[in-house]
Structure 1
Amino acid sequence: MKHYVLQEDVCLAVQLLNCCYDCLKRAEKAIECEQLSMANYWINEFQRARDDLQELRVKKIERDRLITLFHECSRKQIDLEDVVRRISGEYLFSRPSSN
């Protein structure tokens, strides 16, 4: 889990993973007892936990991409503060007038 999500999200990711396992076990038991609506409920809960876990993964991937971009810009001696200032300035001047 350590490299799968951000360090600050590890505890939540573990909880979500445990929730996924628990939901699947409960769905299996419900199927064994022929309680299909309850099984469907637990499958939906599993999918919610899985989706939340996937969001944490996407957050990590996006952060890693930004770090890579930052290092690449630093290696090429690109001043990111200057880039941000230029973009902000262009945005201010390119906004449509409210006439």
Structure 2
Amino acid sequence: MSAEPQERVVAALRAASGGVLFAAELAARSGAADAVDLDRAVAALAAAGTVVVVTYPAPDPHLADAARLVVLTEDDAAAATAAVRAHRVWRRTVREFLAHHSCG
């Protein structure tokens, strides 16, 4: 696999607040050709220890496909705070979603 998709993923995460993006946001910002392209790039980066993927149980059926966060962990300090950073983004997103959404 070319390093280019991986480089685009890292660049998108570096530009993101806290180095954390939902997978769908990461796909859009990195210009991934498709979900397979993104998944391969993220898997290679995860194997190298550059990112971690954090998945949460969806609190609402409308969030079922949106519960995967990718977190940049380029150094030891970033790796140590990855779970905390992911959790902050997840909690903020769920809080905002549930405050404005009603099924009906």
TM over 0.5: no
Structure with bigger helix share is 1
Structure showing greater radius of gyration is 1
- So what's the TM-score if we normalise by structure 1? 0.30
TM-score (norm 2): 0.29
In proportion to residue count, which structure has more strand? 2
